Structure 1
Amino acid sequence: MVQRADTPLVLGFDTSAPHCTAALLLGDRVLAQRFEEGSRGQAERLMPMLEEILTEAGKTWAELTAIGVGIGPGNFTGIRIAVSAARGLALGLKIPAVGINGFEAREKQGVVAAVPAPRAQVYACLNGEAPRLMPEAEASDAARSAGLVFAPEASPADLAQRIAELAGQRYLDSVAPPAPLYLRAADAAPARDLPPQLIDE
């Protein structure tokens, strides 16, 4: 069973949208954070960014209490990058990794938590329903009818901080390793192996 730390040191990060972002929290105090826009190079940039944050705060990997990671919804490749990194770090450091979905990380009073998606769509939770992919107009109309603000955000500046905060509240719970939250099929289907072509002689 995970032992409670007097003041947990939690590293949170996310690459589920066109960004690479991370934050290090000691309890509820932000020690360091980074936010970089761009969907390319996330796999190469994530680990150096985490190293930079720890160095800036004067902390080491061994001091971490837990890891928080954004599990989506969002970009398939980006989600896989972050979740794989979190699971690998948790295994190597023998600390918990907590998956935080994008709706929880974007939740605000009076606002519909929504994540932009391609083709004028959004991922959103409406009226207590399960989160799903829907047309932006549908989510906007539902929010207006409920007297809520509809402002989907792909890359909130405080996203990693919120992920770390929530992970710090949940790391003592018995949770499964973080897993990607996919709400739609991948745009690119895997290639199918074709049978060899027979040539008549």
Structure 2
Amino acid sequence: MLLLAFDTATPAVTAALHDGERVLAESTVVDARRHGELLVPAVDRVLTAAGAVIGQVTGVVVGVGPGPYTGLRVGLVTAAAFGDALGIPVHGVCTLDGLAWAAGEAGLLGPFTVATDARRKEVYWARYAGPHRRITEPAVNRPGDIAREVAGLPAVGAGAHLYPEVFADRRPDPAHQSAGALAALAAHRLAAGEPFEPALPLYLRRPDAQVPAGYKAVLPQ
């Protein structure tokens, strides 16, 4: 088994190779504006670091969000392209689940919340009973609207750190998404025969860019 994992649903452009037992190589660059430029070079770096070639990859793992429209589609389109070109499966994993798994690797085992920055003064979030057990569906909300639901719970993710008045017990790790953790979670699911999310974008809301409702007539009728 050789899994190529990456995620572009957050400002972290992260890629990793995993052999089913451990992370062989990982690369993460935090830059919310350059997902399209940074992802393929990151894939190349982890392949080189692991002494592997793309043809040896047996499966692609991709973060499906929730996340902003533009960044998220970079990872998903790239995953689809690799899967089609190599004839290998593409496994979708919720981005919040990857952060939860990384939190477990950092020692957070009990109930907690994962929150990422959704912009517009909102967060993408979900609650977890443990690193591998999400107990609410991913959602997007203003932090003040979910204060009662997350009260008293440790919280990880950039979204939690943006709103300390709501997420009082903020943990420093993981600070950003880790493709290594995403791959480790996928390897666990494959070994256990557990299902994956479809490799489709989990947007939760409409994109910022909208088609105008009406157009001005510029030619005579």
Seq. identity, %: 31
Q: Are positions 1:182 and 2:182 aligned together? A: no
1: CA distance, partners of 2:198 / 2:150: 33
| Aligned residue runs from structure 1 range 41-190, under 5 A | 41-107=34-100, 108=103, 109=109, 110-126=111-127, 128-144=135-151, 147-153=152-158, 156-157=175-176, 159-170=178-189, 178-190=199-211
Q: Contact 1:18 / 1:38 at 8 angstroms: preserved in 2?
A: yes
2: CA distance, partners of 1:176 / 1:34: 24
Residue 150 of structure 1 deviates from its aligned partner by: 2.8
Greater Rg, structure 1 or structure 2?
1
Residue 192 of structure 1 deviates from its aligned partner by: 4.9
Structure 2: 5+ residue stretches without partners: 104-108, 129-134, 160-173
Instruction: Give the paired residue count.
Output: 191
Match of 2:19 among 17, 20, 26: 26
Which residue number in structure 2 is paired with residue 5 of structure 1?
none
SS of equivalent residue, structure 1 residue 13 = strand
Deviations 1:19-40 (A, max 9, x none): 2111111122111111111122
1: CA distance, partners of 2:196 / 2:140: 26
Residue 199 of structure 1 deviates from its aligned partner by: 5.5
Structure 2 letter corresponding to 1:121? E
SS of equivalent residue, structure 2 residue 179 = helix
Structure 2 letter corresponding to 1:141? R
SS of equivalent residue, structure 1 residue 123 = strand
Structure 1: 5+ residue stretches without partners: 1-7
Residue 138 of structure 1 deviates from its aligned partner by: 3.0
What TM-score does the superposition give when structure 2 sets the normalisation length? Answer: 0.76
1: CA distance, partners of 2:155 / 2:185: 23
1: CA distance, partners of 2:56 / 2:121: 43
More moved, 164-173 vs 13-22: 164-173
Shift in alpha-carbon separation, 1:69–1:135, aligned structure 2, 3 A: same
The alignment's C-alpha RMSD in Å is 2.5
What TM-score does the superposition give when structure 1 sets the normalisation length? Answer: 0.83
Structure 1 letter corresponding to 2:183? A
